[in-house]
Amino acid sequence: MNRRVYIVSACLLGLKTRYDGTDELREELLNARDAIYIPLCPEQLGGLPTPRPRMEIDRGDGRDVLKGKARVIGEDGSDVTDRLIRGAEEVLKVAELAGVAKVILKDGSPSCGVNHIKRAGSSVDGMGVTTAMLCERGIDVEGMG
């Protein structure tokens, strides 16, 4: 059997990597027999601890962060923009090294959001920093959760 390789947000595979130290396990991912998953958390790869304060992109979305037009701010007031960019760069490196078929990320996150992110506690259309970087490189990204 020829299995495809995917990067998946670690929290979706049951690892306790979310900002609050929990997971967002999606059982359907664990039941796939035709896939090899590489679990990654861009926020951890960027050097952020778990648990960590909630974060939001202050305006725009991940594309604006990469252009220097927006910042990622923790609920404690800390600017974590550079860490999210570093984490996105690390995920991109792994994706290119492994030749992944697709990246499956936790929607809603300032790193991993594919269709939406949070701003002022509400869901808004947009993508996270990691998703924006991967899409710029032509890597297929799917949101889950």
pLDDT of 33 reads: 83
Range of the domain at 75: 4-144
Long-range CB pairs of 110-116 (<8 Å, 24+ gap) are 110/55, 110/56, 110/57, 110/62, 110/72, 110/84, 111/42, 111/43, 111/46, 111/62, 111/84, 111/87, 112/9, 112/42, 112/143, 113/61, 113/62, 113/143, 114/141, 114/142, 114/143, 115/143
pLDDT of 145 reads: 82
pLDDT of 1 reads: 58
pTM score, two decimals?
0.95
User: What's the half-sphere exposure (Cβ side, CA atoms, 13 Å) at 20?
Assistant: 6
pLDDT beneath 70: ranges in the chain: 1
Q: How far apart are CA 111 and CA 54, in angstroms?
A: 11
Number of domains in the chain: 1
pLDDT of 22 reads: 98
